[in-house]
Every structure is written in structure tokens, then in C-alpha cells.
Amino acid sequence: MTSLHQQDADTLFQLLEYFGIDDDVPMSNWVDGHFQAGKGEPIDLYNPATGQLLVTYHDAGADMVNLAVESATRAQQTWMALTASERGRRMMAAVGGLQGHEEALARLESIVAGKPVRDCRAEVVKVREMFEYYAGWCDKQHGHVVPVPTSHLNYVVPVPYGVVGQITPWNAPLFTCGWQLAPAIAAGNGVVLKPSELTPFTSAVLASCLEQAGLPQGLINIVNGLGPETGAALTHHPDIAKLVFVGSPASGRLIAQAGASRLAPTVLELGGKSANIVFEDAHIDNAVAGAQAAIFGAAGQSCVAGSRLLVHESLMDEVCNRLARACPEIVTGLPGDDDTRMGPLQNSRQYQHVTTMIDHAVRAGARIVTGGGRPDTLPEGTEEGYFVAPTVLRDVTPDMDIACEEVFGPVLVVMPFADEEQAVQLANQTKFGLAGAVWTQDPARAHRVAHQLRAGTVWINSYKSISVMSPFGGMGESGYGRSSGLQGLQEYTVAQSVWVETAQEASVAMGYGKGL
Ligand code: NAD
């Protein structure tokens, strides 16, 4: 009988072939309108569900980055030579290129990222929404006129940077790729994007589908490889005018330094340690369901994961008991199964990190409410896979690592608070500032607390609701700049001020001129 791993490997190669990446050593880059193989060092990808080697590809390297930047530079001029309306139409046509390929794309994402296929299908839908939304913005990026106190007409227009560099992580490769590509090209830029070396294929496939259905050749280029190699070649490239980075704070610092070294601006979308606050008057069923969705979706590998559950002390036992009953019911299993709600962690390094964090917490005095090890419902062939059961810890103090550092895994800490003031103080006791939530049936309290949370996104009686229409981003070590919405679009343009002399007998004054 074919092993689970062999089935996954066979499916992977069938999918790569389906999308036109059918070499022995996969051509993982989409550059200048073609799939191309990297020439750098080999990179092994392991199956998250089995821990076994899936496929090897090669780092793109600096030469491929140069080709990609040249291609994007040419294509950006072609793109900007079109009318704004035509760019919008082309974007709509481009996303139509996914039609009929959605399931294959979701399956490819699922195998490599180890994500439940139902989540990957939802990612494809989100990508479509992102392109549709930003296609609509193409011909609505108006400038404005400034009533300057001289005879000039002064108008301000948003202009694209030129070619932007984007770097993305492994936890939601397709989503993150579409999330940054759509506003970048809607604003008139060319793009070179480097996905995580751990999840190389879906971004390249997405770019190929988009381009073949309507975008200029080379407008979007995907280069795959290691951070310090291909990533650094991109961040240090002199023709990359702006950098947008999604990933960890540690790498974010390096990207910001690379940008600063040549004065290229950056947007940083980084990690989080978000607080989910449950007051004594909360709708308890909703709050407990929300707490699970907040942390166990994507096996906790989500930047906005609600990893700290702050519960009014009167509810502490009840909430923990409910979680202890509910968490083992979360269907944890193979990413490709339709029923699976939680799959493995994506890679062995993450698995080591998460299990070590749990061990340290327990040694420091935390008590396991549920989970803490491997789920006991996994099929044969997954013994070396990177699975961790939904885990809840209590008796955690705010100074413990598990309460302060991002775990990026299915691990929830539950901590009590006595009153509103302490809830806010605990919620804000973090270097991060990405998201947070408040569960209460008192509207005044809901808004009062929401406004005191130091976080880029706050939910009231909800968690993880996001839309491409609404800005998203962090504070503190969760980064700066915004993605999604109008603000996300504006990150990809710069304001240009144009002065037109309207006086018949104009004089150009030395100094600042009259009336300025
Ligand atoms: P990571 O920082 O290790 O890697 C992210 C990307 O940076 C990868 O493509 C990697 O190759 C690249 N990189 C690493 N070093 C580099 C360098 N020196 N130069 C250029 N590129 C380099 O992050 P990860 O482990 O892939 O992802 C997990 C992190 O991402 C978590 O902290 C998570 O919270 C964060 N994240 C944030 C958001 C958000 O929107 N705020 C979304 C998803 C993930």
C-alpha cells in the first residue's frame, strides 16, 4: 500500500505539473513571465504531516533577483502607460485567471503549508476578494488641489514608488501574497516578492495565473529562497524603492535596517501576543467559542492569534472547564481531509519552539488544562509529523515567557483579572500591539476598554474578523504601516506636489517667494 507520505508527494508533483512546474528540480520562481529554476543552494521541503522530505528546490539567488527587478521595472512602465480604468479592468481579468484552478491551488497550499484544505480554499477566496477590491481603486485614486496663497495652481497626486519588494512568511502564503500584491499593482507599482523558503510554490503559481490572464509580462515576479541570500539581495537592491515585510520581529529589524541603509521606506507587519478579555457579563458560550477560534485556527500559526485569554476571576474555573471539554473535540488531523479543523505545525523548527515553550511553562509552574502533547487521534504515517494538540495552560503569571513571547502555535494561556482596570493593564503588558478583543454585554464598557487597548485591531464580542476593506497593522513590536483598505493602498504611493504658474507675468522669486 502507498504510504501517506508517498501519496502526498505524488499529489504534490501532479499539482506542480498541472501548473506547469514539471521539472525534476522544480522551477520555483516566476520571473519575467516564466517559471525559472534557482541556481543557488538546495532547499529541502519536509511534509508537515509526516516529517519526511517532500521535494528539493534551489535558492533563487542574487542574479535571479536582478533579473526580476529589471523585469518589474520594464513592466511597471508598460503598466503606467495604460489608463487607470484599463489597469482596473486588467486586474479584474487577471483574478479571473484563478477560475477553475481554485481547488488545485488550495490543495497545493495545503500539502506544503500543512494547513487544513478548507482553510486554504478560504484563502483562495480571500485572494480573489483582494484583487476585486483593489481593482476598483485603480481609477479612484484622486489627487487634490491645495488653495495656496499665490497665483499658482498647486495639485497633489499619488504616484507609485516604481518597483516594490515584498517578503512574506509561511503561515498563510497565498493570502499574504495576494494581500500585498493587489494594492501594490493597483497603485501602479511593479513587484518582486519573496515568499518564505518553506512555502515557495503557491505564490509563484498565483503570479503565473494572474499574469497569463491579464497583467503585463514581468509586472509581478516571485523569487524563492533563503532570507539571508535571496531575501537580502532583494532588500539591498538599489532599485527597490519600498519594502513591505510580513514576518517575525527579529527579521523585521533586519529588513528595516536594510531599508534604512539606503533610505528605502518600509512597512512591517510582525507578530503578536494578543489579549482576549472576557468580562463577568460576557455571553459565555460565544466567548468560549471565540477564544478557541482565536487561538486554534491555523493551529495558532496566525499573527493575530488570541494567545492570552484574560478572564474575570469569577469565571476562571468555568471557562477552563469548558475549554477542557471542548478542545479535545477540535478535529485535529491530516491537512488534506475535509473534516480537519487543525493540522500540524508547518515545520520542525516551529514544532521544537512550540513544544519547548510548553515544557518551560510547565516547569515554571503553569498547569495544563488540556493538551500539552501530540493529539491521540492521528492516523498511521504521521508519527514524525509536527502535530501539537490544542493546549490550554493556567496558573500562568504575566512575567512567564509563555505569557510574553509569541508561541505561534496552538497554545492558549488563561489568566484571571479582578476588575476592568487590571484587565486593561494586563492586556497592554506586552511589547506587541497587533490585536485584542473584549467580550461583554455592556456596550459602554466594550467601547471604553477597546479604546484603552494598545492594538491595531480590536474586536468586540468577536475575533479574527478581517476584511480587505479595513486597515490592518500593528503597534510596538507588531510593526508599523498598514495593509488592507485605503490605508493599505496609500502605503504603495507617495504624494507628489505639482505647482503650475497661472499669472501672465510670472516672476520666479529668490528665496521663498511672496505669499508662501
Ligand atoms: P520570519 O521572519 O522568519 O520570515 C519571514 C520572511 O522573512 C521569510 O520569507 C524569510 O525568508 C525572510 N527573511 C528572513 N531573514 C531575512 C533577511 N535577513 N533578509 C530578507 N528576508 C529575510 O517569519 P516566519 O517564521 O516565516 O513567520 C512567522 C512570523 O510572521 C510570526 O512572528 C508571525 O506573527 C508573523 N506574521 C505577521 C503577520 C502580520 O500581518 N502582522 C502575518 C503573518 C505572519
Determine the pLDDT at residue 505: 85
pLDDT at 507 over 90: no
Q: Lowest-confidence range among 158-162, 205-209, 363-367, 509-513?
A: 509-513
pLDDT at 440 over 80: yes
269 is catalytic: yes
The predicted-structure confidence for 26-63, as pLDDT tens digits, reads as follows 889 999 999 999 999 999 999 999 999 999 999 999 99
Determine the pLDDT at residue 128: 98
Burial class for 250, CB neighbours closer than 10 Å (0-12, 13-18, 19+): exposed
Selecting among 138, 177, 303, 327, the annotated active-site residue is 303
Atom 17, ligand 1: residue with shortest CA distance: 227
pLDDT at 361 over 80: yes
- Collapse the DSSP code of 195 into the 3-class scheme (helix H, G, I; strand E, B; otherwise coil) and give the result: coil
- Residue 302's closest CA among 429, 472, 461? 472
pLDDT at 22 over 90: no
Domain ranges of the chain: 7-270, 275-460
| Centroid of chain to Cα 298 | 12
Please check whether residue 402 is in contact with residue 413, taking contact to mean a CB–CB distance below 8 angstroms: yes
Measured from the CA of 272, which atom of ligand 1 is nearest? 34
Determine the pLDDT at residue 515: 55
The predicted-structure confidence for 218-271, as pLDDT tens digits, reads as follows 999 999 999 999 999 999 999 999 999 999 999 999 999 999 999 999 999 999
Q: Give the span between the Cα atoms of 11 and 17, in whole angstroms.
A: 10
Atom 3, ligand 1: residue with shortest CA distance: 248
- Looking at CATH, the fold of the domain delimited by 275-460 is given as Aldehyde Dehydrogenase; Chain A, domain 2 (3.40.309)
pLDDT at 516 over 70: no
- Calculated CA dihedral for residues 374, 324, 281, 431, nearest 10 degrees: -30
Q: Give the span between the Cα atoms of 374 and 377, in whole angstroms.
A: 9
Any ligand 1 atom below 6 A from CB of 246: yes
Q: Give the span between the Cα atoms of 292 and 279, in whole angstroms.
A: 16
| Mean pLDDT, rounded, for 131-142 | 98
- Collapse the DSSP code of 434 into the 3-class scheme (helix H, G, I; strand E, B; otherwise coil) and give the result: coil
Superfamily of domain 7-270: Aldehyde Dehydrogenase; Chain A, domain 1 (3.40.605.10)
Question: Sign (positive/negative) of CA torsion 501, 507, 511, 514?
Answer: negative
Any ligand 1 atom below 6 A from CB of 169: yes
pTM: 0.97
**Å from CA of 269 to ligand 1 middle:** 9
Angle between helices 117-137 and 173-186 (to 10 degrees): 0
Any ligand 1 atom below 6 A from CB of 69: no
Phi-psi region of 443 (alpha: psi -120 to 50; beta: other; left: phi over 0): alpha
**Å from CA of 316 to ligand 1 middle:** 35
Please check whether residue 237 is in contact with residue 168, taking contact to mean a CB–CB distance below 8 angstroms: no
Any ligand 1 atom below 6 A from CB of 232: yes
Please check whether residue 235 is in contact with residue 255, taking contact to mean a CB–CB distance below 8 angstroms: yes
- Collapse the DSSP code of 259 into the 3-class scheme (helix H, G, I; strand E, B; otherwise coil) and give the result: helix
Q: Give the span between the Cα atoms of 57 and 103, in whole angstroms.
A: 24
**Å from CA of 173 to ligand 1 middle:** 11
- Calculated CA dihedral for residues 250, 124, 267, 136, nearest 10 degrees: 180
At CB < 8 A and 24+ separation, what contacts does 257-263 make?
A: 258/232, 259/235, 261/236, 262/236, 262/238
Please check whether residue 64 is in contact with residue 230, taking contact to mean a CB–CB distance below 8 angstroms: yes
Adjacent-strand bridge partners of 31: 34
Any ligand 1 atom below 6 A from CB of 480: no
pLDDT at 23 over 80: no
**Å from CA of 371 to ligand 1 middle:** 27
Any ligand 1 atom below 6 A from CB of 340: no
